[in-house]
Amino acid sequence: MDKFDKGVREEKEDYKAICEALLLSAKADRCNWEEAVRMTFPELLKVADLQKPARNDEEPLCSHARQGVLSLASAHVSYITPMGERWFQYTPIMSEDAGEYDEEDSWFAKATQVTQETVERSNFYNEAYAVYIDRIATGTGALLCEMHRPTQRLIFTHIPAGTYGVAENSLHEVDTLCREWKATPAQLVEQFGEENVSATTRTAYQSDKDRYSKEVRVYQLVEPRRGREVSRNVGETNAQRMPWKNVYLEESGHVLYEGGYTEFPYCVTRFVRYGNSAYGRSALVGVLQDMLDLRKMRSIMMTVAERKAIPSMLVTAEIADEVDFRAGGKTIISALDSRSDVPREFAPASDMRDAMLLIQECQKEIDDAVFRNALQAVSDVDKTMTAREVSARMAEKAMTITQSFTQFSVDFYPMHQRIFACCYRLGLLPREGRPKYVSQPILNRKGKIVGEAVQPPQVKYCGRMAQVLQNAQINALDNTINELVDLYRVTQMPEWLLPLDIKRIVRFKLNGQSFPQQCVRSLDEVENMLERIEKEQMAQAQMQIVQAQASANRDNAEAYAKQTN
């Protein structure tokens, strides 16, 4: 074996060691959510063990907690990433004030609209719902974004909890991920080619018995490239020098494929993150005992209800086998037995009020853990309340979920970068009016253009939850404007209104309410309309001057004529 082959084998062994270390850290984190998931989503544990979920689980579930997780996952879709609504907006990254509108905003508005339509045409919402369930139940959810050039579509893939391990950089951003799954030899050959699989897998593929039945454990490792192996001018033409490595390998360590990504293709979102762990904290961890108590009390309540519906009876030995407990049943007894106090109810069921109070307390603790009360306040609005009262109430309740929403915004930003860059490379974003810094040509050593480096813009969230949190600024703006207008009416001094920029105020309020961009005129259109209105006003004023001058001349002529006569 020569030196080159030895170096390749050592590198493959390093890949396997990295994968095993990352997956081991994921298993260590699993102890933090395994018990909670076992009582709510036991099928997730089967998937984490790379097993097929069973139809019926032997252990009873805590249905209230399960329903709470599903409701909160639906709320993620409705309030954070709503379908059919604009829930994010691109803003210029070079602007000192991201909220300030300049000449580039019309292009970023179009790019936002195109990107949102592309996301809605994809399978994003189907996969994101599963990611949200993982995010709540296990504390961490993962989503992969790929692009399909033939159909110009984005392909999203939910990565089940427990099947991947992650690592963070010095800024506590997830930039390394290893996931595992099982594939048949036929699937591996279809994806990587027969010449690239291991000899063992190739033999299994050539066997009619093992081709579709044998399972091979496969790893994918995505990590940032280090040192000199990273090209500062990265293009799709040189996958071996992209900022992120992308390596597929079998469990044996055989490398199936080695390439790269220009952006980190995964979104790893944590429900609540604290401490040194790269993983999030499950929403259910703090209410484990409540779920156990609730499940136990419901079992007791079922027993009490059964005893109330079918009470225990005390009968004599002579008629023990002749008592009919069916509805409308008849039991024939002797005259002697009729004089006795049997049959009668024996050991009646106890009062259930204390148990009901305990059940309600447990349910409340679980509801608070999954923010059910806060989300209900956001969605339920009293019709008798004023708009300001509704806004204040929604903001007050929504503040309880701010921490998790902020964590989602931070974690999802790399996915925004990935989506934007993929849409750009697919040719979906408008090229006309594009700012120069959005893409830079990549030159080889001979000065020839070999690709484009995409610079993603800033991202602003404007979904329903972001609107609720932004209403505080909008309310403050409205109150200030009302006070200044009142002062102007009282003093008749225009200085009170001069500091206000009407155009920026209108734009800020439209963005805060997630107003559809296609219904808003661009800045150029607004400027042209203002110029046209100004010209019309000037022309009208000049016409009035001319008419006044003509009328004055006519009056002077008539007066002069009278004097001469």
Q: What pLDDT, on the 0 to 100 scale, is given for residue 302? A: 75
State residue 176 phi and psi, 5-degree precision.
-135, 135
Question: Above 50 in pLDDT, residue 235?
Answer: no
Q: What pLDDT, on the 0 to 100 scale, is given for residue 25? A: 92
Q: What pLDDT, on the 0 to 100 scale, is given for residue 541? A: 80
Sign of CA dihedral 332, 333, 338, 340: negative
Q: Which residue has the higher pLDDT, 91 or 130?
A: 130
- Whole-number Å distance between alpha carbons of 109 and 98: 13
pLDDT tens digits along 352-369 = 777 788 888 888 889 888
| Token pair for 269 | 């979102």
pLDDT tens digits along 454-490 = 888 888 887 777 776 666 667 777 778 888 888 878 8
108 band by pLDDT with thresholds 50, 70 and 90: confident
pTM value? 0.76
Question: Above 60 in pLDDT, residue 502?
Answer: yes
327 band by pLDDT with thresholds 50, 70 and 90: low
pLDDT tens digits along 363-405 = 888 988 888 877 665 555 455 556 555 555 555 555 667 778 8
- Whole-number Å distance between alpha carbons of 146 and 246: 13
Q: Which of 180, 348, 175 is nearest to 251 (CA)?
A: 180
Q: Do 152 and 428 touch, CB atoms closer than 8 A?
A: yes
Q: What pLDDT, on the 0 to 100 scale, is given for residue 503? A: 75
Pairing of strands 88-91, 458-461: antiparallel
- Whole-number Å distance between alpha carbons of 314 and 342: 6
CA dihedral 519, 523, 527, 528 (to 10 degrees): -60
DSSP state of 460: E
Question: Above 70 in pLDDT, residue 339?
Answer: no
Kindly give the residue spans of alpha helices, DSSP state H, lying in 167-278: 185-192, 199-206
Region 159-177: what's the mean pLDDT?
93
End-to-end Cα, the chain, rounded Å: 128
Mean pLDDT lowest for which of 90-104, 326-340, 420-434? 90-104
Amino acid identity at 122: S
Mean pLDDT, the chain, integer: 80
189 band by pLDDT with thresholds 50, 70 and 90: very high
- Whole-number Å distance between alpha carbons of 444 and 187: 37
Question: Above 90 in pLDDT, residue 37?
Answer: yes
Question: Above 50 in pLDDT, residue 164?
Answer: yes
- Whole-number Å distance between alpha carbons of 310 and 325: 8
